[in-house]
Structure 1
């Protein structure tokens, strides 16, 4: 149940009580196979310090509900920003258009006592003045790092969300979710040439870590170092060649090019390259990919998903063999399997769908130094920026924000304009080396699907891919 001190954020005397919410949900969804009433209160803030001054300071507060009914493959959904018994009853009229229940109802989500993050709000723990002061210090320190630093942008963002899921079968599930992020971006300039470097970190915790001097200085150091490297970069080569991917954030390629193709809805509809291939080899030996939303304090983690199912570790590919998909309740029921805690939504204004949480490749046995030493010619990609992906086919195009030539087993000159082109299913079969240094990203990822964005985590060890198309400028 919701702690007493924040109970009133969702329930207000004269508008809605917990008993009324349960009764209306049971009545409204009584003829459905599944569904829920999703109540949410959220608070968000964002600060941006740019060009030596505070440029934006935003705060927003929102509350509302989403009511969903599911019969067979049909979904009825309505939402409003008025949490009241009258509004919920009006929303329930939408569900009268659904077909009658099929009788293949989903069992109640299992209960769990896991608690992955604090209930406290990061927005309230630090004063406005202290937040602005931190960004001022970051700006000054970054400019002092190197005279070539010409521009600094530092941003701080946080959200705090209270959600309660009310089901027709009587289950009530609650989660209180903090989320913070710090980002530093610098532009370095010399002789008219300008290059950028960025670094950020975050997770489901309070602002404390951001205010640790060693941590925000690390963000500055990484951003400045990347900008300085890029000032020395030369044009990237083009063609198919071996690519060595750094651990951590480069796992975004796996997330986009492979992860979406392992979500239940695409596979139920037969539109994924992995549809109907459970038990088949889909990747090189040694490749094991998991999705795990139950890692404490991680950006992509959830105590329960947005349908009330506790998150868990889901093995998707094990030693190259496809083992399963990420499932929400609807697709799991229609496919005759169990939900995996991957039903996610952006807010009360959206219906849930199968989504990734923290998706990563497990480490292998190879020494990363040996993987580099064994490369005759290729590139090493340390960090990525934007990219484009076709979710159904897995075809991707990703731009490298920091990359190097590899010649005779050694890192060479930094390169600019390197773009990796390929498709996820093929990349998995070309993995030739898996490092023993698996790392998760720093906690900065956002995942988009179907018009909804949710925080997500990625990760991987150092990874050697035998052949990838590199779109370069040389």
Structure 2
């Protein structure tokens, strides 16, 4: 049936999916919500040139497949050149196929959240509200191409989040943290694991209670290692996805081979890291993921590609064809995107700044993909005064453009680390799990929006 549906097209596939997912939320000393969902379905895609015919259904039966096949048959070969090459096979597994939902009884999951709540309230007398959430999913996918080619993947995913609100007099501030990975719940239930998350949430809330209004203006900014890489994911990473380049809407269009960042800046997208949230054994088109160097020592050298955009651009797919689920068509997406480390001690980087801002954690942000202009809120930041960290600040935002910020990287630390496993990327209405990372680094001049008068 797949052969018949895709006859005369340039490319396409049948994507089969089965998913179990759960989400538990604990707030104000009680279980507030608990949900469990099982879904299944297929997506059938036919591609001709840059035109896509797509049909999907939640019923896995012959009649639904026949109706989908009739729908996509309206698409026939275009001018982009037929893709006869199926993805190469792989015997590599980046994560186990354990089902986290079946592995731990529901009562034990509730007991864990109760224990975290009691731990926070017992440890910190200023804690007024404690929120804990636990989520897990188990996705099984199979990709079928014309000619009988098949590939399958089993993908677990778990995440724990802890949020704490602390009060001092009439002032209240929040702190939060989380972590996750492609695995069963496992270590999350060990006190050494969840206590670390709870302690970090408490620490952030207490820091914010001491915060002062952030300054405003252009100044040197030091970004901490790890989660700060979300800035580059948004402000730079999307602009290096193949579809934006093919359509010539990326700020990096026509800059392949050119210097787009300071020397010493190397940015990589790597979907092959074991157990990481953004990793995939194969992407959602069946292509094995790989390590893709995007910017090397400041020079633009690579892009992230799915099959369609790679074919139309005359290059190879890179294992970045991703979709939210069977009801969505794949597109070029990031996996784990991060900046490699340099040779500077993080303390040396901070001491090099006479007056500026140190950003340890970020919240939400907005980015224009075409221009690369961004606005990010800083959830944990500190003044830098005479080379030392000063008072924590509140209300700080970073304002700039990714292409400009890349060229102002003055020092790169030797402490590269990845985020704790909490990232979700949105694009064209689809959300997929991703990873980010970076070392401590200094941007010599960046506009800071603040609240200080």
Decide: shared fold, TM above 0.5. Answer: yes
Measure the CA separation in 2 of the matches of 1:345 and 1:138: 34
Is residue 72 of structure 1 aligned with residue 52 of structure 2?
A: no
Aligned match of 2:9: 32
**2:441 alignment partner, one of 460, 463, 467:** 463
Does the CA-based 8 Å contact 2:10-2:78 persist in structure 1? Answer: yes
Is 1:407 the counterpart of 2:411? The answer is: no
Which residue matches 1:301?
A: 279
Contact 2:220 2:445 in 1 (8 A): yes
The list of structure 1 runs, each at least 4 consecutive aligned residues, that deviate by more than 2 angstroms after superposition, is 99-103
Q: Out of 204, 214, 219, which is 2:192 matched to?
A: 214
Would you say the 8 A contact 1:246–1:462 is kept in 2?
yes
Match of 2:399, SS state, is strand
Residue correspondence of structure 1 range 29-68 to structure 2 within 5 A: 29-68=6-45
Match of 1:371 among 344, 349, 354: 349
What is the CA–CA distance in structure 2 between the aligned matches of 1:338 and 1:85, rounded to whole Å?
34
Name 1:145's counterpart in structure 2: 123
Question: Equivalent residue for 2:404?
Answer: 426
TM-superposed deviation, 1:103:
7.4
SS at match of 1:97: coil
SS of residue paired to 1:66: strand
Cα shift at 1:97: 2.0
1:413-453 CA-to-partner distances (Å, cap 9, x unmatched) read 00000000011111100000000000000000000000000
CA distance in 2, matches of 1:49, 1:370: 42
- Ranges in structure 2 where 5+ consecutive residues have no aligned partner: none
The SS at the match of 2:73 is: helix
- Give the Å deviation of 1:204: 0.0
CA contact (8 A) 2:305 2:320 kept: yes
Give the SS at the match of 2:59: coil
Retained in 1: the 8 A contact 2:18–2:141? yes
* Higher mean C-alpha deviation, range 150-159 or range 94-103: 94-103
Match of residue 315, structure 2, among 337, 344, 349: 337
Match of 1:128 in 2: 106
- For 1:85-96, list aligned pairs within 5 A: 85-96=62-73
Deviation of 1:101 (Å)? 4.5
TM-score (norm 1): 0.94
Give aligned pairs, total: 451
SS of the residue corresponding to residue 414 of structure 1 reads strand
Shift of 1:298: 0.1
TM-score by length of 2: 0.99
Shift of residue 183 of structure 1? Answer: 0.3
